[in-house]
Amino acid sequence: MSTSAIETYPLAQSVEFTDDDLIVSLVDGRKITVPIIWYPRLAAATNAQL
């Protein structure tokens, strides 16, 4: 059996931060949210740096 797969890479449309999360919005409408604590350099950054 053969299948054909079309591989596409998700493209970021925007990035935003809350006090606790990093949120990446993709062009296909999905949003990926991860705890900012997973990224120590971002967790230590000021609002201006973010």
Q: Is residue 7 part of a domain?
A: no
Integer CA distances (angstroms), 43 to 9, 25, 39, 47, in order: 27, 19, 6, 10
For residue 50, tell me if it sits in a domain.
no
**Residue 29 domain boundaries:** 12-43
How far apart are the C-alpha atoms of 2 and 19, rounded to whole Å?
47
Report the alpha-carbon distance of residue 3 to residue 43 in Å, rounded. Answer: 43
pLDDT of residue 9: 84
- Residues 6 or more apart from 9 whose CB is under 8 A from it? none
Say if 33 falls within a structural domain: yes
Residue 6 lies in a domain: no
Residues 1-50 have pLDDT tens digits of: 566 666 778 899 999 999 999 999 999 999 999 999 999 999 999 989 98
| 16 assigned to some structural domain | yes
- In the chain, how many domains are there? 1
In a domain, 26, yes or no: yes
